[in-house]
Amino acid sequence: MSRLYDTVEPSVIDEDMLQRAVEEQGPKEEAGKLAKAEGIDFNDVTNLRLDFKNILKIDNLWEFTNLVKLQLDNNIIEKIEGMELLVNLVWLDLSFNNIEVIEGLGTLTKLQDLTVYNNRISRIENMDNLKDLQVLSIGNNQLTELENLVYLRKFKKLKTLNATGNPFCENVETYKQYVVAYLSHLEFLDYRLIDEQSKVAAKEIYAMPIDEIIHNEEAEERKQKENEIKQKELQIHTKAYVEYLDGSSLFDSMYAEDSDGQRLNEMPGVDELLAGFKEKFLGVCQKIFEYGLSENEKRQAEVNQFWECVEEAKTENKEAGMKIIGTFFEERKRVLAELGTITDNQVIDDKIEAYQSQINELWDKLMSLELQLVDQLEDVIKDFERNMQEMVSTFLENVKAHLTQCRDLENMHHERMMEISIVTLEKVIKNELDDEITEELRMLFVDKDTIIGAVSSSHDLHLLKIDNKEDDIETRIKNWLSAMMEKIRNEEEIKRNRVRVVEINHQIDHFKEEIDNLDFLQGP
């Protein structure tokens, strides 16, 4: 159905066209008049139809961010583009165009119905993000490989597929069986219900390859789940500031940049020493890890409790406020009804005055309620902060104590290393160890100063790593605490209070205005 370019002038999506389309398709009659008078904002439009317009290029649609349904059929579009911002799109019709490649749909995650019927597409691809896809019409295209349809297994919600009229449909029976077998979620193929019988028959034919695919998919899924779980655990650990401390990562990192140390470990007799050292070191690390997790839980519980209580207080306060307003509404109704029946101006004035004083009273009540809540929250937040600070500092103290143990272990290890290295040095000097040590190690045993220097520098490096870890934990947890407290102060204390005060004033103003207007109306 592609039209030739030279016969028809291609048009461009410009403001004029859009404006016209929107107005045409917008509200009618009285509403239409109103809309015209007011103007229609493009980002309010939900449905847009741009068919039979000879559009060559999709463009200028970025304003229609709330668009749900877009029809661009029967144009001469060659490339899917310019739709990145239409994230709310559910229904997209691009049929009868000259599209060759499926692309540019990555952001349209809400898309359910996609029609690219009668185009020049040769491959189904680039649709990974369309998780909600339910209907796909890709008939009359240039699809040649049946295998390409396996790609559609991704879309678990896909119920309807229309793919007839493609080269691979030459052998209709094979095509149908293939689709039915591989896309088992499908309910309608080429606008016909797939019956149970043909499903079973098709499955039998392709049992083997499908089983394999299913197996692979399951394995993939499992892997993904495992990964997710791991990721989650790591998140928790990071939150507890003890990530990787249940393994040997700290220990490994100590030696990672320490080439001298690695070399020194090759000295005879170090193996056992190192093994013992590592075991003890890891034991301490494990302790830190466990302690960290338990502390994290405690902190979390504390935070949860705090929020629970705050929410409770807020709802209580809200209920109290609503009750006051509710009773006032009753009163208002009564007063307004009363005013309607009275004709004597003097009485009306009195009534209005009384009513106004009631409004003021209401304001007083609501404001005092709000102030009360502010006070309450302030106290509680203070308490909470104090407790949290205490908690954090105990946590840090304990972690530091554990890390000190690590340092002690390192110190001990260092001393032993020193001894061994000196002994080894002597042996080297006496040439007793000719074959047992590598050339690189031998380089260190030039003289006593060198070897001692190497050992101490290795030691210093190790201590530095431990210090770094300590600093890291400390700064992170402190940052967390201050950020949280900051947020609580801002959100709960200041922002909430502002909003509430504005709200109360607004309502009161409204009441006052109302009575004034009424007064004005009644006056003359």
- Contacts with another protein by CB under 8 A lie at 27, 29-31, 34-35, 37-38, 40, 44, 302, 305-306, 308-310, 312-314, 318, 321-322, 325, 366, 372-373, 376-377, 379-380, 383-384, 387, 496, 499-500, 502-504, 506-507, 510
Nearest-approach distance from CB 258 to another protein, in angstroms: 47
Q: Which amino acid is at 84?
A: E
Is 248 strand, coil or helix? coil
Query: What DSSP string describes 93-104?
Result: E--SS---S--S
Nearest-approach distance from CB 499 to another protein, in angstroms: 7
Residue 481 CB contacts under 8 Å (≥ 6 apart), including other chains: 388, 389, 392
Nearest-approach distance from CB 251 to another protein, in angstroms: 39
Instruction: Identify which of residues 305 and 457 has a Cβ nearer to another protein in the complex.
Output: 305
Contact 115, 73 (CB under 8 A): yes
Looking up tokens 């290029």, which residue turns up?
57
Query: What DSSP string describes 344-413?
Result: -HHHHHHHHHHHHHHHHHHHHHHHHHHHHHHHHHHHHHHHHHHHHHHHHHHHHHHHHHHHHHHHHHHHHH
Nearest-approach distance from CB 157 to another protein, in angstroms: 20
The CA-atom distances, in angstroms, between 172 and each of 166, 266, 284 are 10, 72, 70
Instruction: Identify which of residues 9 and 30 has a Cβ nearer to another protein in the complex.
Output: 30
The CA-based dihedral angle spanning residues 406, 409, 410, 412, taken in that order and rounded to the nearest 10 degrees: 160
Instruction: Identify which of residues 209 and 326 has a Cβ nearer to another protein in the complex.
Output: 326
Enumerate long-range contacts of 398-401, CB under 8 Å, 24 or more apart.
398/291, 398/295, 399/241, 399/288, 399/291, 399/292, 399/470, 399/473, 400/470
CA atoms of 182 and 93, how far apart (whole Å): 26
Token pair for residue 466? 């431990």
Nearest-approach distance from CB 505 to another protein, in angstroms: 9
Nearest-approach distance from CB 42 to another protein, in angstroms: 13
Beta pairing partners, 511: none
Q: Closest Cα partner for 211 from 248, 184, 244?
A: 184
Instruction: Identify which of residues 26 and 104 has a Cβ nearer to another protein in the complex.
Output: 26
Nearest-approach distance from CB 485 to another protein, in angstroms: 14
Nearest-approach distance from CB 519 to another protein, in angstroms: 16
CA atoms of 39 and 19, how far apart (whole Å): 10
Instruction: Identify which of residues 12 and 34 has a Cβ nearer to another protein in the complex.
Output: 34
Looking up tokens 């207007």, which residue turns up?
517
Please report which helix (H) or strand (E) contains residue 47, including its range.
strand 47-49
Nearest-approach distance from CB 376 to another protein, in angstroms: 4
Helices (H), 430-495: 439-444, 448-487
Instruction: Identify which of residues 26 and 165 has a Cβ nearer to another protein in the complex.
Output: 26
Nearest-approach distance from CB 390 to another protein, in angstroms: 13
Instruction: Identify which of residues 44 and 467 has a Cβ nearer to another protein in the complex.
Output: 44
Instruction: Identify which of residues 362 and 399 has a Cβ nearer to another protein in the complex.
Output: 362
Nearest-approach distance from CB 313 to another protein, in angstroms: 4
Measured CA angle at 35 (ends 34, 36), to 5 deg = 90
Enumerate long-range contacts of 109-115, CB under 8 Å, 24 or more apart.
112/157, 115/73
Nearest-approach distance from CB 43 to another protein, in angstroms: 12
Nearest-approach distance from CB 32 to another protein, in angstroms: 8
Q: Closest Cα partner for 179 from 212, 219, 224, 148?
A: 148
Instruction: Identify which of residues 29 and 279 has a Cβ nearer to another protein in the complex.
Output: 29
Instruction: Identify which of residues 32 and 104 has a Cβ nearer to another protein in the complex.
Output: 32
Instruction: Identify which of residues 319 and 419 has a Cβ nearer to another protein in the complex.
Output: 319
Token pair for residue 381? 């937040």
Q: Closest Cα partner for 328 from 286, 295, 359?
A: 359
Instruction: Identify which of residues 315 and 411 has a Cβ nearer to another protein in the complex.
Output: 315
Instruction: Identify which of residues 62 and 307 has a Cβ nearer to another protein in the complex.
Output: 307
CA atoms of 345 and 351, how far apart (whole Å): 10
Which DSSP symbol is given to 493? I
